[in-house]
Structure 1
Amino acid sequence: MSSAIRQIPLDTITHHHAHDFHQIVIGLSGQADFEIEGLGGATSAFSGCIVPANHVHYYAGHGDNHQLILDLPGDALSLTGYHHDLSRLFDAPRFFTLDDPLKRYRDFLLQELRLLSSRGPIDPVHHERLACTLLGSLHARLAHATPPRGRRLDLAALDRYIDRHLGSPLRVADLASAACLSEAHFTERFRAQTGLSPWQYVIRRRLESAHRLLLQSHLPLSEIAALTGFTNQSALSRAFRRAFGHSPSQLRQAGGPQLKTIAPGR
């Protein structure tokens, strides 16, 4: 599969799926809501989200909306070889806002696609070139963002907030509001203080809670998944296996052996 760049409206009815390729969604007009493995947020004009491969995500547009979508297989030219570092963009889902240079590049990209499509089918290699420039620019901004100075976050208070809402879709905007910060400043400060993205931290909190419930209760896996904010039992099992190396059912069958510590990046 080659990379593909397309422009579509999103249905106003909520849908969900997962796919074996990465995806970047950038709003062109209107708004759309996303929840990516428990991380919630929205896209609008000049803001977007990163959806790593095999991550279950829910999405719905609001009214008249239009989105620019990049579909990027793991072996895309823009993610391999000389550009392999760009694949780090997809280590975890996140939301972002385009700065002025990226806004201008987004407009150029749209004009270039219109020009090329007027001449016939677009060469897939040109999609790769356009995608590579966007990915490189995003990587330069998101990987090396300078954290803002200011007071330290009250992680104990955030833990209490997360635990109270563990079974509900949690958005970065919700955590930022609880910390009385803008979403962008909260995300940067949170990563600087914890070494994790808010999504990675919430997933860790959910896995820790699921671990306790698996050992201390006889609840079915489907109910534990619902209580800890996973979209379904399969989503819980996938995340659990990635973090611990074995499934929730294997933990129970073994009678609760001590699990290895969740790695910081998970």
Structure 2
Amino acid sequence: MPSTIRQLPLASATHHHTHDFHQIVITMSGSSEFEIEGLGGRVNAFSGCIVPANHEHFYSGNGDNRQLILDLPEDAPALTGENRELVALFDAPRFFGLDNPLRHYLAFMESELAQGFDTSTTSFQQDRLAATLLGSLKARLGTATQSSQQRLDLARINRFIRQHLAEDLRVADLARLACLSEAHFSDCFRAQTGLSPWQYVKRQRLNAARQMVLQSRLPLTDIAIQTGFANQSALSHAFRRSYGLSPRKLRQGYVSSVTPSPSKHPVGSLAG
């Protein structure tokens, strides 16, 4: 199945979904908000994100915005055959900025799209455009192919995550602590913990949110903000997926379980 390149604005309302194809989203003007499996934040003009297939993501646009979106099925020509090594870009979600050469290439892509061309299933012009962009991104971002791995200071990483839980945590922030590239850090992190960095951060967010739900009376909106979720809806969705019930139901069940049983003595009576 060929790739598809399209341009559109994102609505200001937050939406979320998953899909069975990979995706590149680049903000061409304005800004947008993206959260992919618990990581993300604001994406400004000439920045973008990599959304691997089957990764839930929340997104919205800020004001007047325009997005360039590449939908890339796993069997697309841009990711198979002589381009098969490019699929490594989608091993993990990540965010990136565009340098001047890539900005010029995007301007070329836009001019090609504006001219229009055969979009039938037998035409692979969009895949040719996509493959060039993916190859350029891969050269800049690298992939997790380092054979040697170093032990990471997880205690330090945990402290950093806890201190910045409400902020837009990215793999680059954690990699910087270890003085490694994002790709090498992700490789080491997965080897040491069995989780990708964004899965680990999401687990930390959920654990912190769960404790706050059970041990405080804070509104769920405040808990979502303090633990780094985009909004209460994102928090509730993550709870249902991980715990099988919403934060509200969890809190109600906990309160019920710790509420003392009524005294056997009538009100006002004195025991003993």
TM-score range relative to shorter protein: 0.5 to 0.7
Equivalent-residue separation in structure 2 for 1:53 and 1:164 (angstroms): 30
Change (3 A) 1:209 1:33: closer
In the alignment, does 2:200 pair up with 1:204?
A: yes
Map 1:246-265; keep pairs closer than 5 Å. none
Change (3 A) 1:31 1:205: closer
* Contact 1:11 1:60 (C-alpha < 8 Å) held by counterparts: yes
* Runs of 4+, deviation exceeding 6 Å: 208-211, 226-230
Task: Give the greater-gyration-radius structure (CA).
Answer: 2
Change (3 A) 1:73 1:193: closer
225, 235, 238: which one aligns with 1:232? 238
Map 1:102-181; keep pairs closer than 5 Å. 102-115=102-115, 117=116, 121-123=118-120, 124-143=123-142, 156-163=155-162, 170-172=168-170, 176=173
Residue identity opposite 2:200 in structure 1 = R
Equivalent-residue separation in structure 1 for 2:63 and 2:204 (angstroms): 38
> TM-score of the superposition, structure 2-length normalised?
0.64
* Contact 2:48 2:97 (C-alpha < 8 Å) held by counterparts: yes
* Contact 1:41 1:95 (C-alpha < 8 Å) held by counterparts: no
> TM-score of the superposition, structure 1-length normalised?
0.65
Map 1:59-98; keep pairs closer than 5 Å. 59-98=59-98
> For structure 2, which runs of at least 5 residues remain unmatched after alignment?
145-151, 208-213, 215-223, 230-234, 244-272
> For structure 1, which runs of at least 5 residues remain unmatched after alignment?
146-152, 212-218, 220-225, 238-266
Across the two proteins, how many residue pairs are aligned to each other?
A: 210
Query: What SS does the corresponding residue of 1:28 show, helix, strand or coil?
Result: strand
Indicate the percent of aligned positions where both proteins have the same amino acid.
Answer: 48
Equivalent-residue separation in structure 1 for 2:108 and 2:205 (angstroms): 46
1:203, CA displacement in angstroms? 1.5
* Contact 1:2 1:76 (C-alpha < 8 Å) held by counterparts: yes
Residue deviations 1:56-79 (CA, integer Å, cap 9, x gap): 000010000000000000100010
Change (3 A) 1:49 1:208: closer
Change (3 A) 1:3 1:33: same
Residue deviations 1:76-123 (CA, integer Å, cap 9, x gap): 0010111111000000000001111111101100011112x2xx6535
* Contact 1:206 1:228 (C-alpha < 8 Å) held by counterparts: no
Equivalent-residue separation in structure 2 for 1:64 and 1:32 (angstroms): 10
Residue identity opposite 2:103 in structure 1 = K
Query: What SS does the corresponding residue of 1:13 show, helix, strand or coil?
Result: coil
